[in-house]
């Protein structure tokens, strides 16, 4: 077995406190614990759009769903994506050459690294950010390099931190934008400065835009590949899981220039086989009606972020910024205990499971991540938030904080 696999957390022979491993989630549910831990809109409730449902049903009733699409994806879906990229991302791409459909964006992220990263190669990622940015690199034998972003600078990119960690083994940067877990939507200035760093040092950047669809307060969502001189060296990853709330369909896509995507076209049949046909057809419908879908979801998530922020921000020992995107919150609870202590405390005291901040990199210790986008019913979320508030106030009083 390769050395890194031996040390992976969550195998069959190790007890771990992770909801996505073994039967932990089932056990918690039996104990009446609610999960605000999956970044999966409305989980576990049914909020499947009527037209998307109809597209899936049609693919079943006319038999299309029975068969493969091309390994690189359905042509009509790719054409629809190219139109969306031009309208929303200022990207003009050839759908026949620059897009590969994948079974979700996790697969897309891994696939983007495979041709380029091998043992000893260093890949820089903001810390805290999405755990796979570190883990996928390690699985390939590469070395993830954490580049801190800090609360005092609003978790924005500081390019000096990248420069300080550059070595002759640095191959790539992975950036999650908007970031998970901080929800920060990186400013145009930050993106331009990072783009210059990537160009100057002849690197490739993978930008994961899984959360691009729901951005608040008129923040500008800048697509790195649309900046001058960046299309050539950027692999961008997209998903319909988050903004569209269609995580179970497992559709993501990779957008890259000919020279980078060439190897993925050549190997798609070996790596992907093909993504699910019914899901790809449903994704076409979802993309066509994205404006209406996203308007509805954005309204819900905007309301919930404000409810959550208002409920927690004045608790002594709790620090947070109002979420800038999506349906997540990133909360500093370090004055109340370690991340793991507060996760376990909330299970006991509030019957809620949230994520421990230390999953998102070393800078995440002392934080928890919470998904206010779960469940369909706002009233249910409000009641859960109230339980979290009461529990944290109690903890704060026990710690003597005012
Ligand atoms: C930043 C980020 N990228 C990618 C993914 C994977 O999403 P999917 O594979 O459903 O597209 C997630 C899921 O939580 C995520 O948070």
Asked whether residue 159 falls in the same domain as residue 201, the answer is yes
Q: 245 is written with which tokens? A: 């709330």
pLDDT given at position 15: 67
CATH code, 23: 3.90.1150.10
Asked whether residue 200 falls in the same domain as residue 252, the answer is yes
Give the domain range for residue 15: 3-47+290-399
Backbone angles phi, psi at 237, to 5 degrees: -115, 135
Measured from the CA of 39, which atom of ligand 1 is nearest?
14
Measured from the CA of 107, which atom of ligand 1 is nearest?
9
Asked whether residue 189 falls in the same domain as residue 310, the answer is no
Domain boundary among 289, 316, 342: 289
Measured from the CA of 38, which atom of ligand 1 is nearest?
14
Task: Please state the domain count of the chain.
Answer: 2
Asked whether residue 117 falls in the same domain as residue 260, the answer is yes
pLDDT given at position 110: 98
Domain boundary among 289, 314, 344: 289
Distance 211 CA to ligand 1 centre (A): 8
CATH code, 170: 3.40.640.10
Q: Split the chain (402 residues) into runs of 10 and give each run's mean pLDDT.
A: 81 68 78 93 96 98 98 98 98 98 98 96 98 96 97 97 98 98 98 98 98 97 98 98 97 98 96 97 98 95 98 97 98 98 96 96 98 97 98 97 87
Asked whether residue 27 falls in the same domain as residue 65, the answer is no
pLDDT given at position 19: 65
Which of 37, 81, 102, 210 maximizes ligand 1 atoms within 8 Å of its Cβ, making it the mutation to test the pocket? Answer: 210
Asked whether residue 107 falls in the same domain as residue 192, the answer is yes
CA atoms within 13 A on the CB side of 80: 18
Distance 242 CA to ligand 1 centre (A): 7
Beta bridge partners of 124: 145, 173
Asked whether residue 304 falls in the same domain as residue 282, the answer is no
pLDDT given at position 17: 65
Taking the C-alpha atoms of residue 323 and residue 256, their distance in angstroms, rounded to an integer, is 29
At residue 25's C-alpha, the angle toward residues 19 and 26, to 5°, is: 165
Q: 381 is written with which tokens? A: 């979320």
SS3 360: helix
Which residues fall within 8 angstroms of residue 26, CB to CB, at 6 or more apart? none
Beta bridge partners of 369: 330, 355
Contact 395, 345 (CB under 8 A): yes
Distance 278 CA to ligand 1 centre (A): 20
In terms of Cα–Cα distance, which of 164, 161, 105, 91 is closest to 133?
Answer: 105
Asked whether residue 41 falls in the same domain as residue 58, the answer is no
pLDDT given at position 225: 98
pLDDT given at position 13: 73
Asked whether residue 233 falls in the same domain as residue 140, the answer is yes
In terms of Cα–Cα distance, which of 151, 148, 132 is closest to 140?
Answer: 132
Distance 212 CA to ligand 1 centre (A): 11
Distance 105 CA to ligand 1 centre (A): 6
Which of 101, 111, 180 maximizes ligand 1 atoms within 8 Å of its Cβ, making it the mutation to test the pocket? Answer: 180
pLDDT given at position 116: 96
Measured from the CA of 103, which atom of ligand 1 is nearest?
9
Asked whether residue 202 falls in the same domain as residue 234, the answer is yes
Asked whether residue 165 falls in the same domain as residue 280, the answer is yes
Q: 16 is written with which tokens? A: 């771990």
Question: Which residue's CA is minimally distant from atom 13 of ligand 1?
Answer: 39
Which of 40, 105, 179 maximizes ligand 1 atoms within 8 Å of its Cβ, making it the mutation to test the pocket? Answer: 105
DSSP 334: T
Domain boundary among 237, 262, 289: 289
pLDDT given at position 4: 82
Taking the C-alpha atoms of residue 235 and residue 260, their distance in angstroms, rounded to an integer, is 8
Distance 252 CA to ligand 1 centre (A): 9
CA atoms within 13 A on the CB side of 380: 14
Asked whether residue 62 falls in the same domain as residue 107, the answer is yes
Measured from the CA of 241, which atom of ligand 1 is nearest?
10
């Amino acid at each position: 077995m390769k050395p890194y696999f031996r040390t992976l957390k969550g195998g069959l022979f190790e007890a771990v406190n992770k909801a996505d491993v073994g039967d932990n989630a089932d056990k918690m549910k039996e104990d009446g614990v609610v999960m605000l831990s999956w970044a999966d809109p409305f989980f576990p409730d049914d909020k499947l759009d009527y037209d998307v449902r109809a597209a899936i049903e049609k693919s079943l009733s006319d038999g299309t769903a029975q068969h493969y699409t091309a390994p690189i994806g359905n042509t009509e879906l790719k054409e629809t994506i190219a139109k969306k990229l031009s309208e929303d991302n200022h990207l003009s791409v050839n759908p026949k050459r620059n897009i590969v459909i994948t079974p979700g964006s996790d697969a897309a992220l891994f696939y983007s690294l495979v041709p380029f990263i091998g043992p000893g190669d260093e890949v820089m990622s903001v810390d805290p950010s999405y755990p796979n940015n570190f883990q996928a690199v390690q699985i390939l034998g590469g070395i993830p390099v954490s580049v801190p972003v800090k609360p005092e600078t609003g978790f924005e990119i500081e390019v000096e931190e990248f420069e300080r960690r550059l070595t002759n083994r640095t191959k790539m940067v992975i950036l999650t934008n908007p970031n998970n877990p901080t929800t920060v939507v990186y400013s145009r200035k930050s993106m331009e400065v990072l783009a210059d760093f990537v160009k100057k040092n002849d690197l490739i950047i993978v930008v994961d835009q899984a959360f691009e669809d729901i951005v608040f307060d008129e923040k500008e969502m800048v697509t790195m590949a649309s900046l001058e001189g960046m299309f050539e060296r950027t692999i961008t990853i997209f998903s319909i899981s988050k903004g569209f709330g269609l995580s179970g369909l497992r559709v993501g896509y990779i957008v890259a220039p000919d020279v980078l995507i060439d190897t993925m076209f050549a190997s798609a049949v070996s790596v992907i086989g093909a993504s699910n046909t019914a899901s790809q057809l449903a994704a076409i419908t979802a993309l066509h009606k994205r404006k209406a879908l996203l308007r509805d979801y954005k309204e819900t998530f905007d309301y919930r972020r404000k409810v959550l922020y208002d409920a927690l921000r004045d608790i002594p020992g709790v620090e947070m910024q109002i979420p800038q995107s999506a349906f997540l919150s990133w909360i500093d609870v370090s004055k109340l205990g370690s991340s793991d202590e507060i996760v376990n405390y909330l299970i006991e005291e509030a019957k809620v499971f949230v994520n421990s901040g230390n999953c998102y990199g070393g800078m995440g210790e002392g934080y928890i991540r919470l998904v206010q986008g779960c469940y369909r019913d706002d009233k249910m979320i409000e009641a859960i938030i109230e339980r979290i508030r009461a529990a944290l106030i109690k903890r704060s009083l026990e710690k003597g904080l005012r």
